[in-house]
Amino acid sequence: MTRGERKNLRTGLLFISPWILGFVAFTAYPLLASVWFSLCDYSVLSEPVFIGADNYRDLWQDEVFWLALRNTVVFAAVSIPLGTALAIGLAVLLNQPVRGKGVFRTIFFLPSLVPAISLAILWQWMLNGSMGLVNEVLRPPLDAINWIAGTALQPPDWLNDPSWALWGLVLTGLWGAGNAMVIYLAGLQEIPAELYEAAEMDGANALRRFRDVTLPLLTPVIFFNVIMGLIGSLQTFAVPYILTGGTDGPGRSLLFLATYIYQSAFDYWNMGYASALALVLFLLILVLTFVVVRFGEKRVHYAGR
Amino acid sequence: MPDADQRPRLLVLALLLLLGAAFLLPFAWMVSTSLKPLNETMVLPPRWLPSEPQWQNYPEAMRAMGPFWLYARNSLLLAVLNVVGTVFSSALVAYGFSRIEWRGRDNLFLLLLATMMIPFPVVMVPVYTLFRDLGWIGSFKPLWVPAFLAGAFNVFLLRQFFLTIPRDLTEAARMDGCGEFRIFWQIILPLAKPALLTVALFQFMATWNDFLGPLIFLVRQDQFTLALGLQNFQSMQGGTAWHYLMAASTLVVLPVLVLFFLAQRTFIRGISTTGLK
Amino acid sequence: MERSSYSIRRLAGCAAALIMPTCLAMAGTAPPDTPTEQGRAVVEYWEKWTGAEADVMRSIVDDFNRSQDRIFVRMLTVSRIDQKMMMAVAGRVPPDLVGLWLTHLTSYVQNNALLPLDTLAREAGIRGEDYIPVYWEMCRREGFLWALPTTPTVTALHWNKKMFREAGLDPEQPPRTLEELEYFNDRLTKRRPDGLLEQVGHLPQEPGWWMRDFNHWFGGPVWDGDKRLLLDGQPARAFFQWAASYPRRFGGEGMNNLRAAFGNFASPQNPFFTGKVAMVVQGVWMDNFIRQYAPPDFEYGVAPFPALAVQQGPPVSIAECDLLVIPAGAKHPKEAMEFIVYTQTPAAMEKLCLGQKKFTPLREVSPEFLHAHPHPYLPTFIALAKSPNAQAILSLPTLAEYSNDLTTYISLVLLGRMDPDEAREALQARQQKALDKKTARWDRVREKRLAEWKTRL
């Protein structure tokens, strides 16, 4: 290296030294320690004791783990497409020439800023089986259907019914679609108007314009959002935790991997097991992100490629 | 205006109104419940509006919750510290990753990006034991010291922004014999004000909303943040006082709303730029 | 123009320069552990009670603080106290004194989170013979004393006399066997014209606080006290079968529908008060809540909750107690113990228990206590507590996991969504494994701990 290069190296490293320190203390060390803890029986109140791969073996046979895994994946698999569709839909609506766009944009965006605790408390009340707002809104249409079709449909007791609790949580998540909507809106505004005009002249109606112009040009943004959404939703903890009061929800339907990890660590004081679970979660995120990236690489359309 | 134009416009407006109402309803419900007397909160069928707004629910809720203002002060304290720490350290690190050419820089940056995929639960337990061994459990330190060590996301954001600043500016300064830090402080930072503001805003929100961190690292009740204090309130025995709970929840949301209204454009711009670059 | 903007910036800079260090200073340190409050040693006391129950303890604390000038006890109401205490001990910042439920005592002991009180208790003259046996025994583990009891309870059947009358049953004759209870249940159940339930005689979920220990009314334990769970034994079998009979009779959805309209326990909409459920298992505190929330003409009776007909012998009940413990690493253990000893004196104990409308864990009580006590059925509760069949709640080292699992499985069985035997076997398999793990962990350190505890304080 030349003297200049060496100086630059030194300066560069100096500037990024806070991150290096943070990386070592809060990423590298914990990752390694996690691996070590996952091979131990550790309760924090006493020393870790090496037990080999026992935690992983137990994990494999632990039906609650598989349930938590299933809940986590199902939740992500449902809320990401729904959330994306909703966010794009809202963005498309807001991209039209209508009055009061700013107001609507605010209304849609605001819920995504609400702290988890307020959100959870609010929705715990909204999803109440008999006295909550959601069922209050659902009852009239269901009663109408009942009257017409002679059925006896009742709105579900969301938070006490194992089959419906997860959907209640999905609903809660959809309320925060405004965050992604803003990104899509920005993406939509980058699409040159000429493309739409050209498509119109070719005789394409609104739906076809959406499918052939809008969607392909949005794919980079969708790609980014889906990956961010994936990483985020696989770590869901706060809202279900508060919603269920720290338990697992009816029939364990609201037990997610992150919740199970927290429970194992700080309720059952099995920190070795919790570390094993956490590493599995990490693996899950890596694998799914890889899958999405691979899938996306072929489909994402980059302007100018 | 031709008819064909009006119909889609009306349709869009109608949809927006419908969806807008759906999105607004939970807020309205929260505020309306917070103003009801207790016996009107749990009725069948549910009431939309209180018979008489019970404004006193708010001070009563604050009192019932415990040291409300102490919790608020704690939340604010942590938010301020995190903002200061994040803005400075992220800017420093982002500068190092963007405005100086050095060997291994881009590989190290890839490493930084990769760390964004590591979920918090993986590092949760070892970080907890680390803080425990340092004797920091029982103080606020675990909740603000890491902010001074530059989180990956903010570094990413700022680096992208710094890259858009023309090279010539810094080259000229270097020719004049200016030190790197001076260039950083006097040239780049002032130009990056909008991006820094965005980072500050997001960090404030993130810290204000943070739940898991305080849940794990705060043990003493007098150090609780609003989020934790509210959860404490929620899980107290003796039945749920929904009117108080909603009032308290509204109070916790309020600063967020106020901040949003003051800094709307920055918020929106910040979110859109993260998604696109 | 420029000058004013410059001075504003300077002002902002100064403000920042002042605020920042203050923030850092405030945020860097834990609240100062003022070693003395007006010159006294401060005992930090975390208590789980809220509301009126907390107020009673607070007055005892005040009495203690007034009675001497060396120690100041500072009481704090803490929610989720089990978890908070463990986190405080694990984080090495424990309080000096904690008011816990009995539930997780074994777990704390095995995790070495508490201070053994034997020496301190002996020096203070505390003797086991002064206590009702079940309450003294429940404070002991591995041969050491870990806690002292404060306010006890046992569970008993509470029934709504008016509903009995309306159903044609003698309001003074409660069911004496579980089979009779089920017969009464049928008599007391009413349906609306559309088929939905209007009221029922009994629901296991109401309140459902003792599912873990319900097996005692079916004849036996679910744990051998050491290494093995006995969920394949007859009592567990019978209990799960009994639970499964409910969705068959009422329908899982039917019960859910009925329960959706139940109000909170501590409110006038408590289903027992509103006549939705005629018979419940409850503790000695129930009278208090009835006075507060039930309609003024509410008539109720108390009797031992019935066991299976084949069980003869003294009445069965579940006994629990609130405890005072000293966490390991407490800074003022001796002072904390002084306060605990104070609460154990007959005068303080009676004041506390009278204030919370419970009986005392002490064998002897003064006649004034009995006379002044508002609870009409206190002698029934005391008799149940002294009965040889008063069973302390399950004291598994894996109680948290067991509880969680049991709740899940039982709720599925009660909804009619899971076969009872399947649920029971799954519970046995999972929890036996969890127990084995904890047993292994404990066996590894047992000798060391016992030796350590012998030499402690």
Q: Which CA distances in Å does A37 have to A68, A271, B108, B129, B199?
A: 21, 7, 27, 11, 35
Q: How do beta strands C277-282 and C197-202 pair?
A: parallel
Percent of chain A at pLDDT > 90 equals 30
Check if the beta carbon of residue C116 is closer than 8 Å to that of residue C146.
yes
Q: How far apart are CA A93 and CA A104, in angstroms?
A: 10
Report DSSP state, residue A128.
Answer: -
Q: Which chain C residue has its CA at the smallest distance from A42's CA?
A: C441
Q: How far apart are CA B215 and CA C392, in angstroms?
A: 32
For an interface test with C, the pick among B41, B133, B219, B234 (most C C-beta atoms closer than 10 Å) comes out as B219
The domains of chain B are located at 3-57, 68-235
pLDDT one-digit tens code per residue, C172-184: 999 999 999 999 9
3-state class percentages of chain A: helix first, strand second, coil last, to nearest 5: 75, 0, 25
Q: Which CA distances in Å does C443 have to A265, C89, C302, C400?
A: 21, 22, 44, 19
pLDDT one-digit tens code per residue, C160-209: 999 999 999 999 999 999 999 999 999 999 998 888 888 999 999 989 99
Per-residue pLDDT of chain B (277 residues; tens, 9 = 90+): 455 566 777 888 888 899 999 999 898 888 888 888 877 776 766 777 878 888 888 888 888 887 888 999 999 999 999 999 999 999 999 988 888 888 888 888 889 988 888 888 889 889 998 998 998 988 899 999 999 998 888 898 888 888 888 888 888 888 887 788 888 888 888 888 888 888 898 899 889 989 989 988 998 888 899 988 888 777 665 456 788 888 888 988 888 888 888 887 777 777 666 655 4
Chains sharing 3 or more CB pairs under 8 A with chain C? A, B
Assign domain A67-299 to its CATH architecture: Orthogonal Bundle (1.10)
Judged by a CB distance cut-off of 8 A, whether residue A210 touches chain B is: no
Q: How far apart are CA B175 and CA B267, in angstroms?
A: 37
Q: How many Cβ atoms from other residues are within 10 Å of residue A31's Cβ?
A: 18
What residues are paired with C160 via a beta bridge? C300
Please tell me whether the overall predicted TM-score, pTM, comes out greater than 0.80 for this model.
yes
Question: For residue A246, is it left (φ>0), alpha (ψ between -120 and 50) or beta?
Answer: left
Q: Which chain C residue has its CA at the smallest distance from A271's CA?
A: C90
Q: Encoding tokens for residue C64?
A: 């203690």
Q: How would you label C284-311 residue by residue, b for 16+ Cβ within 10 Å and e otherwise?
A: bebbbbbeebbeeebebbbbbbbbbeeb
Q: In terms of CATH, what superfamily is C36-153+321-392+442-455?
A: Periplasmic binding protein-like II (3.40.190.10)
CB pairs under 8 A between B and C: 69
Q: Which amino acid is at B96?
A: G
Q: At what angle do helices A116-126 and A165-174 cross, to 10 degrees?
A: 130
Q: How many Cβ atoms from other residues are within 10 Å of residue C35's Cβ?
A: 11
Q: Which amino acid is at C251?
A: G
Report DSSP state, residue C62.
Answer: H
- Under CATH, what is the fold of the domain B68-235? MetI-like fold (1.10.3720)
Of B20, B126, B242, the CB nearest to A33: B126
Is C156-318+397-440 in the same CATH topology as C36-153+321-392+442-455?
Answer: yes
Residue in this structure with the two tokens 């089959």, named with its chain if needed: A163
Judged by a CB distance cut-off of 8 A, whether residue A34 touches chain B is: yes
At CB < 8 A and 24+ separation, what contacts does B211-216 make?
A: B211/A115, B211/A116, B211/A117, B211/A238, B211/A242, B212/A237, B212/A238, B212/A262, B212/B120, B212/B124, B213/B142, B213/B143, B214/B143, B216/A266, B216/B124, B216/B128, B216/C87
Q: State the CATH class of domain C156-318+397-440.
A: alpha beta
Q: How far apart are CA A256 and CA A261, in angstroms?
A: 9
Count of H-run helices and E-run strands, chain A: 16, 2
Q: Is the CB of B219 less than 8 angstroms away from the CB of C87?
A: yes
Q: Which chain C residue has its CA at the smallest distance from A50's CA?
A: C441
Q: How far apart are CA A246 and CA B139, in angstroms?
A: 24
Q: Is the CB of B239 less than 8 angstroms away from the CB of C88?
A: no
The domains of chain C are located at 36-153+321-392+442-455, 156-318+397-440
Q: How far apart are CA B75 and CA B211, in angstroms?
A: 11
Identify the CA nearest to B119 among candidates A288, A283, A238.
A283
pLDDT one-digit tens code per residue, C407-447: 889 989 998 999 999 999 999 999 999 899 889 888 988 89
pLDDT one-digit tens code per residue, C254-297: 888 888 778 778 788 899 999 999 999 999 989 988 998 899 99
